[in-house]
């Protein structure tokens, strides 16, 4: 002890500073480090879920596009079939029946396209709604946690003051 005082180090003051440092280290570890790690882990999890949901939405949109193509192909095949029948019957029944079948074929194509467009728009709306809900939920959670963390920081700062 005497050697320390000779070189200008106060042993009691050094011991008090070491104890204060350990207390501060404990408080920082408990109230700052652990909450920050849990916040980062939860945020990583939410981001991964958001990416997974976005991939699912993209897959649904791709499926909708494939379904639309199939519906259009079926409608075109049906229209060709009706047109062929109309041509055969026009030879037998005349020009009037030919016009009627062509109108029916056009109507079927228009209806099929309208149905495909409507189904596609419905899937887009659903996907947009799901994405919007996910974004809102994620934003709400992040803001809640940020506000909670700011409250914890203020209480730690008040405690340290």
SS3 90: helix
Domain ranges of the chain: 2-160
Q: What percent of the chain has pLDDT over 70?
A: 88
- Provide long-range contacts, Cβ within 8 A and 24+ apart, for 132-135: 134/49, 134/50, 134/53, 135/50
- Provide long-range contacts, Cβ within 8 A and 24+ apart, for 51-57: 53/130, 53/131, 53/134, 54/131, 57/127, 57/130, 57/131
Cβ atoms of 124 and 72 closer than 8 Å: no
pLDDT at 158 over 90: no
Q: Please tell me the predicted confidence (pLDDT) of residue 141.
A: 76
Cβ atoms of 68 and 120 closer than 8 Å: yes
pLDDT at 152 over 90: no
Instruction: Pick the closest to residue 71 from 39, 110, 32 (CA basis).
Output: 110
- Number of CB atoms found within 10 A of residue 28's CB: 13
Q: Please tell me the predicted confidence (pLDDT) of residue 146.
A: 66
CATH code: domain 2-160 is: 1.20.120
Helices 34-93 and 95-160: crossing angle, nearest 10°?
Answer: 180
Instruction: Pick the closest to residue 42 from 144, 155, 150 (CA basis).
Output: 144
pLDDT at 108 over 80: yes
pLDDT at 149 over 80: no
Q: Please tell me the predicted confidence (pLDDT) of residue 127.
A: 87
**Which has the higher per-residue pLDDT, 17 or 136?**
17
**What pTM did the predictor assign?**
0.34
The per-residue pLDDT of the chain, averaged, comes to 85
What's the rounded mean pLDDT across residues 115-128? Answer: 90
Question: pLDDT of 29-68, one tens digit each?
Answer: 999 898 899 999 999 999 999 999 999 999 999 999 999 9
Q: What confidence tier does 17 reach under pLDDT thresholds 50, 70, 90?
A: very high
Rounded Cα distance between 158 and 152, Å, is: 10
């Amino acid at each position: 002890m005497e050697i320390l005082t000779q070189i200008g180090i106060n042993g009691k003051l050094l011991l008090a500073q070491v104890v204060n440092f350990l207390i501060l280290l404990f408080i920082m570890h408990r109230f700052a480090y652990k909450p920050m790690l849990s916040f980062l882990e939860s945020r990583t999890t939410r981001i991964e879920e958001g990416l997974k949901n976005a991939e699912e939405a993209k897959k649904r949109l791709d499926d909708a596009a494939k379904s639309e193509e199939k519906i259009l192909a079926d409608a075109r095949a049906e229209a060709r079939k009706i047109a062929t029948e109309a041509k055969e019957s026009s030879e037998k029944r005349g020009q009037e029946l030919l016009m009627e079948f062509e109108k029916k074929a056009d109507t079927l194509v228009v209806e099929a396209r309208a149905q495909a467009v409507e189904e596609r728009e419905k899937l887009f709306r659903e996907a947009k709604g799901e994405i919007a809900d996910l974004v809102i939920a994620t934003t709400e959670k992040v803001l809640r946690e940020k506000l909670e963390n700011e409250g914890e920081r203020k209480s730690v700062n008040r405690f340290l003051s």
